[in-house]
Amino acid sequence: MSQQKFLEVESKIEAYRGALVDKDQATEVIDFGAGSPDSNRSEEEMAQGVRVTTTTRSVAAVGIKGDRAKGIFEIVSKGEPKVILELGTCCGFSSSYLSHAAPNAQIYTIEGSPELAKIAIQTREDLGCSSVVQKVGKFVDVLPDLLPAIAPIDFVFIDGHHDREATLAYFRQILPFMAPRGVMAFDDITWSEGMKEAWREILEAGVHQKSDDSFKIGILWL
């Protein structure tokens, strides 16, 4: 990876993020995830989704940046994946990093909240990321049809839900559709005790050749 290339991409994406933060516009999103580490949402609440009134300032702050963005960018650039899957689009910044890191890849990203998906589509359009297919819906509803249609998957980035049981379920569901030397990345593995447990159990599954969790993203090389 060219350090200069990453810095150029980072400058463009983070300037766009900054503009969205400054806009600070009210928006309503549907959250199908765990909320915050101490929210204790029930399985039923997560399945139905929780409507949250927030602002573009708050949602734009979410997503990989800094060392985490650089780490993912480097892994993807070196791996040259043909098919990438992302769970949890939010405002589209991580999928923009992925698109610039692998310009020849076909990228599929899933977002549960229609309002966030709209923001993400506009973000990527403005940033010149044309190789990303946006899917809108709950992961559990979208994945059964999507996975066999796009397999084999070379790189998957799981950055949504943030719940132990759900993360483990996505790991087990996606694994059979991964390419033989694919890479699986799990964001926010230190976000809660449940996420820490999920990462430990994923490692204990023993499906990887090597792993890394040095920048709060758990990476498995299969």
Residue 39: the pLDDT is 59
**pLDDT(44) > 90:** no
| DSSP secondary structure string for all residues of 52-98 | EEEEHHHHHT-S--HHHHHHHHHHHHHH--SEEEEE--TTSHHHHHH
Average pLDDT of the residues in 147-169: 94
**The two three-digit tokens of residue 54, written as one number:** 């927030």
| Percentage of the chain modeled with pLDDT above 90 | 74
- The helix/strand/coil state of 137 is coil
| Least confident span in 50-59, 104-113, 118-127, 133-142 | 50-59
**The two three-digit tokens of residue 164, written as one number:** 């132990």
| Least confident span in 36-40, 55-59, 115-119 | 36-40
Nearest to 119 by CA among 75, 40, 59: 59
Which residue do the tokens 């923009």 mark? Answer: 96
CATH architecture of 66-221: 3-Layer(aba) Sandwich (3.40)
Task: Say if pTM beats, i.e. exceeds, 0.85.
Answer: yes
Average pLDDT of the residues in 162-191: 95
